[in-house]
Amino acid sequence: MANQTVGFAYHPSPPSVPDWLNKGDNAWQMTASTLVALQSMPGLVILYGSIVKKKWAVNSAFMALYAFAAVLICWVLLCYRMAFGDELLPFWGKGAPALGQKYLLGRANVPASTHYHKDGTLETGRNEPLYPMATLVYFQFTFAAITMILLAGSVLGRMNIKAWMAFVPLWLIFSYTVGAFSLWGGGFLYQWGVIDYSGGYVIHVSSGIAGLTAAYWVGPRVRGDRERFSPNNVLLMLAGAGLLWMGWSGFNGGAPYAANTSAPIAILNTNICAATSLLVWTILDVIYFEKPSVIGAIQGMMTGLVCITPGAGLVQSWAAIVMGILAGSIPWFTMMILHKKSTLLQKVDDTLGVFHTHAVAGLLGGALTGLFAEPVLCNLLLPVKGSRGAFYGGNGGMQFLKQLVGALFVIVWNLISTSIILLLIRLVIPLRMPDNQLMIGDDAVHGEEAYALWGDGEKYDPAKHGSLFTEQIRPNQHHANNGAIGVTVQL
């Protein structure tokens, strides 16, 4: 035993373990990154591919797949440092590559995150997690990618895939990085004390507002798709939703940048709020439509996850239940009741209702964080010491106002930037598919179909296979409007 050598990985001081590295934090952050990445790939790829009509399954899944890959390359070439680098403007960082060995192996830091008192004295030092920059770059990429994919949910079933391919890098550069730097990277909203724990504004309000804006400029689906757009695989849809829910533990649990006491609070609150919201949404479906909807349950799960995100590690768990009740009822009302009565919302074809599940739920969560942010939990994490929600008195009323102003900035920026980007793209690429592609779907757009139902990959041809099937709208269709508008197939 005396002559036994110690493996290099377990050497007392290997060169790959500098003094500042915390192995536990690094391991957790890489795990959280993987969980968030799984929400997109394969989570939302599966969810999108199964929640749409069969003829759009491939196209919808591919839009998510493409966005995941394109965002990563843009992120390391330019966008990470626009969102988390040195300040260029109060709302934007200096873009630069995040690819060099020296940069990626050094200790992670967010340069503009230093916070000062009004008199100029230091209040909170620069945010410097105890792991390499490479870990932070990848973690933040997963957030950028899922934002882009969530936005895609508003334009499924008709956006020109070439226009989407151009839109992804442009929106990432000119919209996402602005919100990320302003609220997380040390920008003016961060310095002012606006709270966005893990992306209620940066991710969900921005994707919901940008998605609605994009849906307006791209235009609606064909009439048949708007009237009958039932999922092609409900069980697979649930699998995608399950990956999304479980991955949210990394989404909110990784936000403190460390395996500290804030992380498990955030994870517990995330699951409590999601479960509460799902149950409330389902109960409202049963009361109003007389039957529970699987799509409705997924929507309720989603709004609960979104609503808790701005304050996941900053509110007490009883507040997570309250937020879940409101997340399962207010977006339900805007989607199921208000949307059908609003002339403006009826004109915009938001395919998956991203405006309701993300913009409305994210705004609700940000406002409720301004009410329920608990002072002790805030002091564990936030750069502005003494932060608290209005429920706890003191300067809490001002915090609530800050939350509303922060949301307003994100909404206005995304409305303007998304519109400008799409109008510029429209000059060279049509935003909407031509009608012949819209009628056929995947086979016309990609030359591929999700299911080989008629033999060895061939598509159904009435002249060849005969008119075997007829579509008939279900009786009591008005009861199906809480989710899938189903179609019965009769021999």
**311-346 tens-digit pLDDT:** 999 999 999 999 999 999 999 999 999 998 888 888
Q: Is the peptide bond before 292 cis (omega within 30 degrees of 0)?
A: no
pLDDT mean over 122-141: 95
Residue 388 belongs to what domain range? Answer: 23-108+127-437
CATH code for position 51: 1.10.3430.10
Identify whether 285 is part of a domain: yes
Identify whether 478 is part of a domain: no
How many Cα atoms sit within 13 Å of 267 on the Cβ side? 16
Identify whether 449 is part of a domain: no
Identify whether 98 is part of a domain: yes
Identify whether 480 is part of a domain: no
Identify whether 490 is part of a domain: no
Nearest to 194 by CA among 180, 206, 207: 180
Q: Tens digit of pLDDT for each residue in 405-449?
A: 999 999 999 999 999 999 999 999 999 999 999 999 988 999 888
Q: Is residue 364 pLDDT above 80, yes or no?
A: yes
Helix (H) or strand (E) holding 471: strand 470-473
Whether residue 286 contacts residue 241, with contact meaning beta carbons closer than 8 Å, is answered with no
> Cα–Cα distance between 328 and 212 in angstroms, integer?
21
Identify whether 193 is part of a domain: yes
Share of residues in the chain with pLDDT > 70 (%): 89
DSSP state of 338: I
The whole-number pLDDT of residue 394 equals 79
- What tokens appear for 85 in the block? 């680098």
In this prediction the pTM is 0.89
pLDDT confidence band for 5 (50 / 70 / 90): low
Identify whether 476 is part of a domain: no
Burial string for 1-13 (b: 16+ CB within 10 Å, else e) reads eeeeeeeeeeeee
> Cα–Cα distance between 301 and 378 in angstroms, integer?
26
Q: Is residue 455 pLDDT above 60, yes or no?
A: no
Q: Which residues are bridge partners to 470 per DSSP?
A: 490
For helices 133-152 and 23-38, give the axis angle rounded to 10 degrees: 20
Residue type, 395: N
How many separate domains does the chain show?
1
Query: Beta strands of 38-139 (E only): which ranges?
Result: 87-89, 92-93, 115-116, 122-124
Give backbone dihedrals phi and psi of 320, rounded to 5 degrees, phi first: -65, -35
pLDDT mean over 352-363: 96
Q: Tens digit of pLDDT for each residue in 153-203?
A: 999 999 999 999 999 999 999 999 999 999 999 999 999 999 999 999 999
Whether residue 487 contacts residue 475, with contact meaning beta carbons closer than 8 Å, is answered with no
pLDDT confidence band for 460 (50 / 70 / 90): low
Nearest to 112 by CA among 383, 370, 309: 383
Q: Which residues are bridge partners to 3 per DSSP?
A: none
Nearest to 151 by CA among 89, 87, 85, 206: 206
- What tokens appear for 62 in the block? 């591919």
